[in-house]
A and B are shown apart, each in its own frame.
Chain A
Amino acid sequence: MAETTLPGLVPDVPIASRGYWSSVFRRLSGDWTTILCLVVLLIIILSAVFAPWIAPADPYKTSVIRRLKDIGTPGFPLGTDELGRDMLSRLIHGGRLSLVMGITPVINALIIGSFLGIVAGFVGGKINMVIMRTVDVFYAFPSVLLAIAISGALGAGLVNSIVSLTIVFIPPITRVAESVTTSVRNLDFVEAARASGAGGFTIIRVHVLGNVLGPVFVFATGLISVSIILASGLSFLGLGVRPPEPEWGLMLNTLRQSIYVNPWVCALPGVMIFITSICFNLMSDGLRSAMDVRA
């Protein structure tokens, strides 16, 4: 603090370069698409978190006399579903399970996959071979097929579908983490750290993690959109949560029988999945260019 108070030492023009994060933030603040997506996502997430206080009606309360009302019916702004439940309330509550089912697998896979990838990339040799060849085997499945295979064997349920989606996303994250780690491992500053006597763990913690986590994180944000579509897809197949829980994919599944009665109300849960997934996609693109990573 003392030196900045000395008038002679304060340059008129700041010569110090901006920090990495402040330049990332500056680039993000000029990117209107990304900001718009962030705002939309924030609204969806907050309304899911505070669903019990925001939703105008009970999402479980059925009524035989007001089934499949049109969008814009007084008292039911987005109509009612096949059991007469308020669509708006169910869509707001549905965000809870859909977001948890979509985001949790990516977070799990981010932790496990980066660990595996960093170990494989840093240690190399036989361990690298074992991990990466196993990853190759997982890559031999199209991701939808792998998710359905594991979920189908485990059976329906929230935890089972999160487990199966986590397994689906570990291999791609491991691959990215491994390739970035391998390229960082041979850089001069790692050599220098090693020469000055730093142990493997210290090198990973201080020098590798910082360089690997950025690209891996950006890559993982791109997976959230896929994960949300897949998670709701599993529910759509009857492999996710069970009725009467409000979940966007499951709602699409049960409303599918009613498209001849009130088609547009039946399509609403899909609109929510679409909006959420497109926002995550665009946000990931924005982050990628703002953080200047190629992963």
Chain B
Amino acid sequence: MISYLIRRLLYSVPIALGVSLMIFMLVHLAPGDPISAIAPADAPPDVVERLRVDYGYDKPLPIQFGLWLGRAVTGDLGNSVASGQPVAAEVMSAVGNTILLSLCAAVFGFTLGAVLGFVAGYKQGRAMDKIATAIAVAGISVPHYWLGMVLVIVFSVQLNALPAVGMGPGGSNDWAWDWLHMRHLILPAITLAVIPIGIVMRTTRSAVAEILNQEFVQALRAKGLSERHVLGHVIRNVAPTVLAVMGLQLGYLLGGSILIETVFSWPGTGFLLNTAIFRRDIPMLQGTILVLALFFVFLNVVVDLIQTAVDPRIKRA
């Protein structure tokens, strides 16, 4: 297990490097001189030249990447073009809000998806299966930013029951686990939860159906085990597959939350990205995406490890 852990971590190093390289290249994708993305638009030529040397843009690309990576590793993601503040600080404070929203959405979406999928797989072809499958298809196909708008229309505009924007009373950005703050979380979390419901449901359904078709289930029933205990065996066999998908979906939630945060003005990374795009703030764009992508790489390692831990059939020495 330990040696597998080490090898898995080593394998993720080139991936993380590749991810960093791609994000580094974003500044060169941007039209025009890369320095124009960093310098203020009205900067005098000598300041631009000094910035170019400071940031190493006068050096060849591989050395530029090395310098950029070196700074990123030490936590220096550059300064925001728009606000002049260090990107790292702004990203870190926003990441917490995004993770809070994603985790709440994950708990809700994964539970609902797994339960629906289990029922659908267990009662294949019955009405429950058809209803659950319809929910899954709708969940996969719905543009979630629109669903967020519809929920706002119903619960905020028409019923006036829940707040439409922000994460606290009076636009405060400090989170607390009380009703005044939590009611701000309900609509965005439900909207975001719709993304994984369909995938988790489909995976669970097909995994349950496959296990139920195996001979050992018949053997369990034949020896007179109660249905409850049979289901226990099914759950234990389905868990690794479903957990793996859930882990990946958690990563997609972090990405998908960008649009949802825009709809609900949730002060997370999505909101930050949206502002960065609007102001063409490339360092901010790079920093936010780097943090989110590296988190996703890390999450993939964790998913693999959990899967190895819960599934004794995977022998990874």
Q: Chain A: residues with CB nearer than 8 A to chain B?
A: 133-134, 136-138, 140-146, 148-155, 225, 229, 232-233, 236-239, 249, 252, 256, 259-260, 263-264, 266-267, 269-271, 273-274, 277-278, 280-282, 285
Knowing A133-B14, A145-B255, A270-B150 touch, does A278 contact B145 (C-beta < 8 A)? Answer: no
Give the chain A neighbours of B26 by CB distance below 8 A: 149-150, 152-153
Stretch from B70-78, B237-245, B292-300 contacting the other chain: B292-300
B164 to chain A, nearest CB (A): 8
C-alpha gap A157/B18 in the complex (Å): 27
* Contact A252/B149 with A154-B31, A236-B259 known, Cβ cut-off 8 Å: yes
Q: Of all chain A residues, which has the CB nearest B31?
A: A155
Name the A residues within 8 Å of B29 (CB-CB): 150, 153-154
- B15-30 vs A, CB cutoff 8 Å, 1 = contact: the mask equals 1101101110011011
Evaluate contact between A141 and B146: CB separation under 8 angstroms.
no
Chain A residues contacting B158 (CB-CB under 8 Å) are 263
Partner of B22, one of A137, A152, A260: A137
**Closest CB in chain B relative to A215 CB, distance in Å:** 18
Given contacts A154-B30, A252-B145, contact A237 B22 (CB under 8 A): no
- Inter-chain contact A142/B251, CB cutoff 8 Å: yes
Assess whether B137 is interfacial by the CB under 8 Å rule: yes
Q: Is B193 close to A, CB under 8 A?
A: no
Query: What's the least CB distance linking A254 to chain B, in Å?
Result: 12
Cβ contact within 8 Å between A274 and B18: no
B30 touching A155, Cβ below 8 Å: yes
Chain B residue numbers with a CB within 8 Å of A229 are 141, 143-144
The answer to whether B278 has its CB under 8 Å from any CB of chain A is yes
- Cα A225 to Cα B289 in complex, Å, equals 24
For A236, what are the chain B residues with a Cβ–Cβ distance below 8 Å?
145, 259, 262
Q: Does residue B51 face the partner (Cβ distance < 8 Å to A)?
A: no
Query: Are A134 and B18 touching (Cβ within 8 A)?
Result: yes
Name the distance in Å between B237's Cβ and chain A's nearest Cβ.
Answer: 21
B30 and A142 within 8 A (CB): no
By a CB distance below 8 angstroms, the chain B residues around A144 are: 252, 255-256, 258-259
Contacts of A237 in B (CB 8 A): 258-259, 262, 274, 277
**Cα distance A264–B152 when bound, in Å?**
11
User: B59 CB to closest chain A CB, in angstroms?
Assistant: 21
- Please tell me if the beta carbons of B141 and A274 are within 8 angstroms of each other in the complex: yes
B285 contacts the other chain (CB 8 A): yes
Query: What is the distance, in angstroms, from A289's C-beta to the closest C-beta of chain B?
Result: 13
Give the top 6 A-B pairs by smallest Cβ distance, nearest first. A270-B146, A142-B255, A137-B18, A278-B141, A145-B255, A263-B153
